[in-house]
Each structure stands twice: as C-alpha cells, then as structure tokens.
Structure 1
C-alpha cells in the first residue's frame, strides 16, 4: 500500500517491466549524461524478465509456433507474456543495441521478434495474450450490455458457443501499433508481409473520425498516438490519407492550455473522444505521435511542450492528472506513476532532438 494524501493506494499488480522499458527509453533519449550504471541495470533487468518458460498451449494453439521469447507486464509472470509489453521492450532494447552488441542482447531481440511473428492473428492484428480468438468489429468495444441472460437458457448457451469478442482477446489496434513500434525498432519494415497485414488491420479498424479506439488506454488519443509511432517505425508513408485523418483528430483535441487529455466517459460516448482536462502522459503521447507523423503544425507541438514544461513538479516529475490505463472498460481503470514520469521526459527529449536537426 502507498499513502496518497488522506487515502491509501493498493497495488493490485506490479508493472515493473512496462515501466522499466519506458524509463529506459526516456533516460537514453535524455543523452549520455543520463546513461551509465542506471541504464545498464535497467537493460539487464529487462533481459532477465524475458519469458523462457513455454506459454500455455491454450494461449498459443498453432502447431510449431514459438512459445517463449515474449515479455510479461511484471517479473515472475513467466507463462503470460503479452505482445503489448514485448513491443515496448523491443523498442527499448533496440535503442541500446545501436551502441553495443552483446550476444545476449541480440538473442533477446531475435527471440522477441520471432515470438511476436507467431502471435499475429489471421486478421493481421495482434492480440494481447491469446492467439487466434475471434476478431472484433471495427471501432469501439464494450458499448453494449454484456450481462448474460441467466433466465434465457438459449441465449446463455449461445454466449458460450459464440462468445462476444469482449469476453475474449481479439487483436487490438493499440496493441498492434505498439508491436509495430518494437518490430520497426528491430529493423522490420513496411515491405515485410507481416507488417503489411498489420497495417491493413489498422486501416480497417480506424474510426470514421480518424482516431483508433483503445482497450488498454483511455481511450482514443493515447492509442492513436502510439499507432502513429508504430507506423513511422516500420517506414509507413506518413503522408497517407488515413494518417492525415488521425493527425487532424489529435490536433482538433488540443486544449487551450496546450495540453491534451481524455475522459473515460469516451468509452460510453464516442462523442467525447479526445475531450478532457489536460494530462501530462496523454500530452506526451500526442507529442510523440505528432512528431512521428512529422506534422506541419509544429505550433501545436510547441504549445504541448510548453504545457509539459509548466506542469513539471519541483522534483522534476509529472502527475497523471487523470485516468490513463484501463483494466476492463468502461468503468474499471487504474493508475500508476511511472509512465507519467517517463513519457513527458521522452517526449521532451524527442522534441529537442527534432528541433536540433
């Protein structure tokens, strides 16, 4: 437990792998002065968390598929690696691989890429944990009443025979974007058939108003931004019409203070997509997404960066200032501090590098 004001926060699950990957990317982007022993230990920690225990056959039913090599959300969860963490960890490790090339680092990257390839669903997207479950329809999920009709045996049986995608683990747009982020960092490009299929999946899932819906992040802004990061990483044409539509959506959501934020109410009402009080981690994601898209509207990025500078605390960190992470939409969300600390730093460093070019 952790005291926050007059309340106690309960840590329901650790997030050390995800948080370490983001922190490592941020510190490395900050420059040589921020590297050294801290980063060496962070990369060693990530390597130690790679799953070497075969995942359950229920999670990967393809004959001959790779069942080790991914990363879980937290250390010790060896049999439940997920594609989301694996994509982000690969993005972090591949940055380090640019400067040094120990055998264990390259082996970890190769194994992670191979595991991800075998997790790609037939629809081209990537699920989080389980390969090959039914696909979702384009756009948001959890918009209907999913309660089982216990007084209707026929309907109850149908819910087990053909369960709704919400009960399963379909390929998701945001997860697919972060997988592309990791694959792109590892040198996999737009010419790769697996990447082409993933991009086709993303294009099919894009909402009419240009955004992508988010299962694990609330709700449209952060996921749209990370998808743009992933598309840029694999060398997609960032002048494509569908990319421009996503950029227009994000630019249209900027608040007067320069920041970006989103209420979890967007899960219930897509009309609230991208609307909400500004949040440092969401603003950071949008800055990274806009920079990845190389948008001509640099003034919007400038204003967002100024917001991040203004909201930095005296201790150098940032607050969440809202709900970013989702357990089960639309009501069960959770908060943890590490992404709110690392993402603004990564965005500021990426922005600095861009304006210095």
Structure 2
C-alpha cells in the first residue's frame, strides 16, 4: 500500500504496476474490512507445523512437502540483502528474504524427515542442509548471536542479534552440524549474557500488546529454553543447567491462576503462549505441576472449541501487530504431542 500511494503521488496512477498493486489490495481484504500485514507466511508456518507434527506427518505427505521445501531454498545471491545462497525466507513468494529464523526451521524439518524419503531425495537434503549451515555460520555476529537478515554492527533491527533466533539456529546446528563447536559455544555465551536477572529472555519479532513495553518474555524464554534443553542433554554443563533452571522458574512464576500463560506476568492467557511455555517446561523436565495445569488449560480450550483462536503476538517494527491462524494450532499440537510422550 505504501508503494502504491507513493507511485500515485508521483503521478504514475495509470501505471500497470499501480493497477496490479490495487488489484492485490482488493483481493487481500478480509471479510471484516481489515488487511493483514503479511498475506503469505507459507514457509514459516509449514516448518512450524511439520516440527509440531514430527513423525505423525502422514506418509503420503512426506515426499511432496519435502520437495516443496527444498525448492524454497535460495540458490542465488539475493538481490536485496546480497545474501549468499543457502537460506530460506518466510514465504514462497518472490518478495521473501532469506533469514536466520526460517532457515533453521527448514533445517530441522528436513533433518527430521530425511529417513522417510528415497536415497536421491536424501542426497538433496544433505546438500541443502550443508549449504544452509554454511550460510548460517557466515551470518553469526561478533557478539556470538544471530541476526535476522544481515550480519552487522548489532545496532539496527535487521542486524541486531536476537535470543530467540540465536536459539533456533543453535538447535539446528546441534542437530545437523555439531562439529561447529566454537560457533555453537559463542552462541550460547551470547544467550548467557542476554538472560535477564529474573531468568527471562526477550524475543525480537514477537510481543504482547498487554504486557509492559509490549514485551513477550514468555515467547522469548520458551524458545531459548528449547536450545538449553538440548545443550544440557549433550554436555551436562552446570552453568547451562543453572540458567535453564532460572528460565523455567521464571515461566512457572508468571503462570496465571487459570493455568495458562499470557505474554508476561498478569497478562490474559492465550493458546500460543500457554503452549509455548508448556513445551519448554516439558523439554527441560521442569515443574510437573505447572505443566499439568497448563495442559489442563489447553485441553479445556480444545473441548470448548477455542484452540484455534489466534492472538496478535506477531510484532513488526513501527507497532505493526499481527496474528497467524496456524500459530495456536501448531504450538498447541507440539505441546500436547510432547506431553503425550510423557505418558506413553
């Protein structure tokens, strides 16, 4: 819309580009008269859903979805960010930009599904993951963390290291390239420094409108704890165990009376944030009582038909908020599925 208005103001209202843009805007309007910020998060929501389903993805869906995901990997230098090949963007449309959140999401999915495809596709997966890891390693900032799009000075939003993105990258590297010990260690040292005194971590691209300063420490802490849980299992580091415990204690301390979680203390419970917190506590094997209360809240939402009610936790700069219909479903599926493993 901004580009369209600018072109019209510059006297190009008859341009075919403007007419196509207006058609796109007309086609994108929602039934309630509003417009979404993004119309397509296909790659991001696909990897979230697949990582939630894990081995429960039906067999007949594996080959098509793996092929589709492999085709989304960038094979050439990106014209906007000048990013090298190897990354994935959030969308399969041409306006996407490879980033350090969607790329580890794709890596984890492909690694998980590799054993379920033929040998030729397995080789494609190996090549794709290798290329993606090279790209991610080249993106690591000097402070040890990972930015969204561009390696930089750590000052601008797009090149500033982020705890949630760094944790996502570390999970992918620990899964598929554990030999990158130095880079992984630097990433965890960045996360160590970013942990707040209360045990929480803050994300970059997610927030909560009802929390102080629009922050969402539940999202950030939950995503970082998943990386600490993996690292603790592999190294049994005392320091990481302590930080993981502090993060879990933070989540437990701000659980709402009804058993759910909002984005921060005393914020109304949502499916997304409750599922994220439960998933993290399960991964860290922490606070069974809090886990059970959170599960009870989620199960109640399922029984009441509210499990798909999305909350606007997605946050872009300039106070642009969005909700995504698949967030509550994918996050809840992951939490409930992992909880089921505890009793089977």
Which of 131, 142, 153 is the equivalent residue of 1:134? Answer: 153
After superposition, the C-alpha distances for 1:82-114 in whole angstroms (9 at most, x for unaligned) are 011111111211111244452112211221112
* 8 A Cα contact 1:250 1:274, kept in partner: no
TM-score in terms of structure 1 length: 0.78
After superposition, the C-alpha distances for 1:148-199 in whole angstroms (9 at most, x for unaligned) are xxxxxxxxxxxxxxxxx2455211111101111222232527x711110000
Which of 129, 134, 148 is the equivalent residue of 1:114? Answer: 134
Q: CA separation in 2, counterparts of 1:130 and 1:25?
A: 25
TM-score in terms of structure 2 length: 0.80
3-state DSSP of counterpart to 1:83: coil
Q: CA separation in 2, counterparts of 1:111 and 1:312?
A: 40
Larger RCO (CA under 8 A, 6+ residues apart)? 1
* 8 A Cα contact 1:53 1:78, kept in partner: no
**1:208 maps to which residue?**
197
**1:225 maps to which residue?**
222
1:316: how far off?
8.8
Note the 1:202-281 alignment, pairs <5 A.
202-218=191-207, 219-234=216-231, 235=234, 237=236, 240-262=241-263, 273-281=264-272
3-state DSSP of counterpart to 2:277: helix
Which of 271, 290, 303 is the equivalent residue of 1:300? Answer: 290
Q: CA separation in 2, counterparts of 1:39 and 1:26?
A: 14
* 8 A Cα contact 2:147 2:158, kept in partner: no
3-state DSSP of counterpart to 2:316: strand
* 8 A Cα contact 2:50 2:109, kept in partner: yes
1:337: how far off?
0.8
* 8 A Cα contact 1:125 1:171, kept in partner: yes
After superposition, the C-alpha distances for 1:115-158 in whole angstroms (9 at most, x for unaligned) are 11111111110010001x223xxxxxxxxxxxxxxxxxxxxxxx
**1:104 maps to which residue?**
124
Which of 172, 175, 178 is the equivalent residue of 1:182? Answer: 172
* 8 A Cα contact 2:261 2:273, kept in partner: yes
Name stretches of at least 5 consecutive residues in structure 2 with no aligned partner: 1-27, 208-215
1:55: how far off?
2.8
**1:282 maps to which residue?**
273
**1:21 maps to which residue?**
47
1:346: how far off?
1.2
Change (3 A) 1:238 1:104: same
Note the 1:7-86 alignment, pairs <5 A.
7-10=33-36, 12-29=38-55, 31=56, 34-56=57-79, 59=82, 67-77=84-94, 80-86=97-103
Q: CA separation in 2, counterparts of 1:8 and 1:74?
A: 21
1:71: how far off?
0.5
3-state DSSP of counterpart to 1:319: coil
**Corresponding residue pairs, total:** 302
3-state DSSP of counterpart to 2:160: coil
1:311: how far off?
0.7
Which of 295, 302, 308 is the equivalent residue of 1:312? Answer: 302
Q: CA separation in 2, counterparts of 1:168 and 1:106?
A: 29
Higher helix share: 2
